[in-house]
Amino acid sequence: MSVKIRLQRHGKKGKPFYWIVAADARAKRDGKFLEKLGTYNPTANPAIIDLNLDKAVQWLHNGAQPTDTARAILSYKGALLKHHLDGGVRKGALTQEQADAKLAKWLEEKAGKVDAKKDGLSKKQAEAKAKALKAEKEANEKRLAKAAAAETVEEVAEEVENVADETVAEVTETVENTVEETVAEVTEAPAEEAVAEVAPEVEAAAEEAPAADEASEEAEA
């Protein structure tokens, strides 16, 4: 029986989650499997891989062939390296202690690279967050400045309107006063002139009246 180490799809739509399994090559991708070796979550950054290293290496020793994706995962977790080192131990090229030391050193270096990647991602996220906060702050300042400018324009417009109303009221009052004075002058002037013209005639008639009365009295005597 030909055995493959491959991924079996699980998880919701749009959020894939895989099992790493050893299965019969003739079985369907998501069908029956011989043994579950671990899990793989590609949605995280970096991806989260949980692998039983000893079981995966044992299946490699038994001739299981990984798919391309599974091979990349096994290489990332050191399973292929351990499989290679175990082959060297069997051939007598190195001792088990030497093989274990080489594997431990490689795993330590790999963990350091993963931690460095995580630190880099955290730094980038912090920078992106700071940039977003700065952009939001600038946008808020612009909105406040715009609101303040609009308020100032409204205040100026109100002040101009008040000044215009006061000016119109003053001009109206001045015009009304001028019209009243002009009407008064036009109404009073002819009467005064007429009185001035008639007064001499009245005075003359008054002076002539006594003289006429005296003449009449003399004629009767």
What contacts 79, CB < 8 A, 6 or more positions away?
A: 51, 53, 56, 57, 60
Residue 200, pLDDT above cutoff 70:
no
Judge if the upstream peptide bond of residue 46 is cis by omega within 30 degrees of 0: yes
Residue 203, pLDDT above cutoff 70:
no
pLDDT range class, residue 184, cuts 50, 70, 90: low
pLDDT tens figures, 114-153: 878 777 777 777 888 888 888 888 888 888 888 888 777 7
pLDDT tens figures, 151-163: 777 776 777 777 7
Q: Could you tell me if 4 and 23 are in contact, meaning their C-beta atoms sit under 8 angstroms apart?
A: yes
Query: What per-residue confidence (pLDDT) applies to 177?
Result: 75
pTM over 0.75: no
Residue 55, pLDDT above cutoff 60:
yes
Q: CA–CA separation, 186 vs 206, rounded Å? A: 31
Q: Could you tell me if 94 and 85 are in contact, meaning their C-beta atoms sit under 8 angstroms apart?
A: yes
Query: What per-residue confidence (pLDDT) applies to 164?
Result: 67
Residue 191, pLDDT above cutoff 60:
no
Q: Which residue has the higher pLDDT, 157 or 76?
A: 76
Q: Which residue has the higher pLDDT, 11 or 195?
A: 11
Residue 66, pLDDT above cutoff 90:
yes
Residue 208, pLDDT above cutoff 80:
no
pLDDT tens figures, 4-43: 999 999 888 888 999 999 999 888 877 889 999 999 999 9
Query: What per-residue confidence (pLDDT) applies to 29?
Result: 76
Query: What per-residue confidence (pLDDT) applies to 49?
Result: 92
Report the mean per-residue pLDDT for the chain. Answer: 80
Lowest mean pLDDT among 105-109, 130-134, 193-197: 193-197
Q: Could you tell me if 18 and 7 are in contact, meaning their C-beta atoms sit under 8 angstroms apart?
A: yes
Residue 172, pLDDT above cutoff 60:
yes
